[in-house]
Structure 1
Amino acid sequence: MKQKSIPHTTHNGPPAAEAPSYFQCPECGFLSADARFGAGEVPCPDCHSSGARPRAFPSDRLRRLDERIRHYNAEGDWEVVVILAETFLESILEDIIDRILAAHGADVTVRSVVLDGQRAIGARIGRLFPALTGEEFEEVAAELGFRDFPHRWRVLRGARNAFIHDSPFHGPQEKLDPATAHEAMILLDQAYKLFVLINNRFVADGFGKHGR
Structure 2
Amino acid sequence: MTTGRAVRLEASEQGGRQTAPLPQEIIVIDDDRALLELTLLTVRAGGYRAVGFHDPLDALMWASDAEPTCIVSDLKIPGVEGLDLVAAFCALNRHAVIIVSAFVDVRMTVDAMRLGVDDVLPKPASDESLIRAIERGAAALPAVPVREDVAFTRRERQVAELMLAGNTTKQIAQTLALSPRTVEFFRASLLRKTQSPNSAALAS
Common fold: TM-score over 0.5:
no
More helix by share: 1
TM-score (norm 2): 0.30
- Between structures 1 and 2, the one with greater strand share: 2
User: TM-score, normalization: structure 1?
Assistant: 0.29
